[in-house]
Amino acid sequence: MRGRRKWTRTGYTPSDRLWKTLSELPANIVIYRVADDGERISLQRLHWTDSLPKMLGYTAEEFKEKNRDANAMNDVFATDRPYLWDKIRQCVERRQDQDFSYRLLQCDGEFLWVHTIFHFVRDFQGEPALISNISHTELAESQFDLVNRVPGGVGIYIIRGKLPERVFLNDGYFRMMGVTREEREKYTGQDTIKAIHPEDRSIVLNSMAEAVTEDGYVQCVVRMMLDSGDFHWLQLTGQIVDRKDGSQLFYVTFALIDTQMKVMDAYRNHLATVMQLNPNAISTFRMNLTRDTVSDGASPYWNIFKLQKSGRMTGFFRDAEPLIPNEGERRIFRRTFDRKNLLAGFEQGNVRVDLKHRYLLKTELTKWVTTSLDMMRNPLNGDVEAIMYTNDVNRETIEQQIVQEALRRDYEAAGIVDTRNGEFYFFIPGKTSIAPTNGTSLPRASI
């Protein structure tokens, strides 16, 4: 890191005639000396034309006293400083003129939009210096006023490394959050990440990292913290733009979605209720038919649990087919859980699908199961989603098979041997009825 360059008063010594000539120019000309400690650039005004104090609402003596050993950066609106530092660095390091619109603070605390052009020179000691022409710009003011009137939040950030550095937030952002700009600045300062809920910070950073390496587009839902400990749900949409110096600008819009998220919470509670109604399910999975995804799977049987590996609903049912031992049942399974067929059926009002079939749960263990799909529309984004669960109906199915066999034959007792799973079922129908519920309890034994 370079050592800090100290201000001196003897470095730039033009003649009195030159000072007088510069002072009387109608333009707002400023000569700065630049000091850089490797982290932040400081500016000392060495000279300025008489029109500059007038533009900012100062008398000549007030402005002179104000600038005694002062850093001119302090007169720049706080959120504009990082961007201005960046422009000055480029001017000094590349020896290229830089122009930029930013806000200067006036005597009364209000700000004035100005446009400046920085030109690199060296003083008599060879130290870096800048000559700047500052002009009041009504165009920038009108553009800024328009952005501030936009409903919702608009932000600009510079990305250096992994963390974004805030440059600008419009007034709409603070209105949306229900706080003043001063209250928000006091809570977060320049720490952009502090404003995001701790559990959501990785979501934003990972989304930005993916955007940098892919299409530059960012979209995610995050919680923005308030100093009270509460938070607002915001939909964040942004675009990352590469710059010639290797850094990047991140343009962002924020939309308040508290109401939508309350509806979404109710929807999630509904999903949880559906799953709780099936506590004996041997597997449960969450699926998105619209986006063809599967997630949140649970099953004690590895053969079923690993079906979600592809992350795709179509892949799940494709990989499930070999676990069905009967070819006829496989064809019905394939047709029943075809994604396009399910979506078409849902649009016609079919919100539930059930199919009984045999399943190879693990090596040499095949059972009758019922695979069910409860479908619903996600109220937040309109996607068709579903909870898929599989219930073990092996015992009931075999009982029914015994009863059906007894109906066809004049037997006082009937039994069935499950040779694959090594189990024996025995049934004695009642004298007045052969319905399973009136028969004696089913003995079960291993053979």
What pLDDT does 61 receive?
85
Say what the pLDDT of residue 332 is. 95
**Stretch among 35-44, 62-71, 164-173, 181-190 having the lowest mean pLDDT:** 35-44
In a domain, 269, yes or no: yes
In a domain, 207, yes or no: yes
Say whether both 26 and 102 belong to one domain: yes
pLDDT for 431 beyond 50: no
> Domain end: 347, 362, 392, which one?
392
Please tell me which residue, 38 or 366, carries the higher pLDDT value.
Answer: 366
By C-alpha distance, which of 80, 74, 96 is closest to 166?
80
Task: Return the minimum-mean-pLDDT range out of 149-153, 319-323, 331-335.
Answer: 149-153
Full domain range(s) for residue 405:
396-446
pLDDT computed for residue 269 by the predictor:
65
Please check whether residue 1 lies inside any domain of the structure. Answer: no
- Which residues sit opposite 445 in a β-bridge? 424
Q: What is the pTM of this model?
A: 0.41
pLDDT at position 13, please? 44
What's the pLDDT at 273? Answer: 62
Residues 267 and 387 in one domain: yes
Same domain, yes or no: 234 and 309: no
Cβ atoms of 46 and 71 within 8 Å: the answer is no
Strands, E, within 257-344: which ranges? 281-288, 293-298
Residues 401, 388, single domain; the answer is no
Residues 133, 23: one domain? Answer: yes
At residue 327, the pLDDT reads 92
Q: Which of 113, 137, 161 is the last residue of a domain?
A: 137
Quote the number of domains for the chain.
Answer: 4
333, pLDDT greater than 90 = yes
Residue 91 lies inside a defined structural domain of this protein: yes
Residues 41 and 85 grouped into a single domain: yes
Of 137, 170, 198, the last residue of a domain is: 137
In a domain, 318, yes or no: yes
- Same-domain check for residues 163 and 98: no
Q: In which band, very low, low, confident or very high, does the pLDDT at 396 lie, cut at 50, 70 and 90?
A: confident
Residues 129 and 112 in one domain: yes
| 268 and 387 housed in the same domain | yes
**Better-predicted residue by pLDDT, 335 or 74:** 335
* 166 domain-assigned: yes
Q: Which residue has the higher pLDDT, 315 or 268?
A: 315
- The Cα–Cα gap between 413 and 419 comes to 19
More confident residue, 164 or 293: 293
Range name among 27-31, 208-212, 333-337, 372-376 with the lowest pLDDT average: 27-31
pLDDT at 330 over 60: yes
pLDDT band at 384 (very low <50, low <70, confident <90, very high): very high
Q: Supply the pLDDT for residue 19.
A: 47
Residue 17 backbone dihedrals phi, psi, to 5 degrees: -65, -40
* ∠ CA 286-288-290, rounded to 5°: 170
pLDDT band at 233 (very low <50, low <70, confident <90, very high): confident
Are 309 and 249 contained in the same domain? no
Task: For residue 2, tell me if it sits in a domain.
Answer: no
Does residue 8 form part of some domain? Answer: no
Residue 407 and residue 387 in one domain: no
- The structure tokens 């587009």 sit at 217
pLDDT value, residue 403? 67
Q: What distance in Å separates the CA atoms of residue 16 and residue 12, rounded to the nearest whole number?
A: 12
- The token pair at 89 is 């660095």
Per-residue pLDDT at 226: 86
Q: Which of 37-51, 63-77, 79-93, 328-342 has the highest mean pLDDT?
A: 328-342
pLDDT at 428 over 60: no
Mean of per-residue pLDDT scores for the chain: 75
pLDDT score at 1: 39
Tell whether 131 and 22 lie within a shared domain: yes
Q: CATH no. for residue 82?
A: 3.30.450.20
Phi-psi region of 6 (alpha: psi -120 to 50; beta: other; left: phi over 0): beta
The residue with tokens 């607002």 is 232
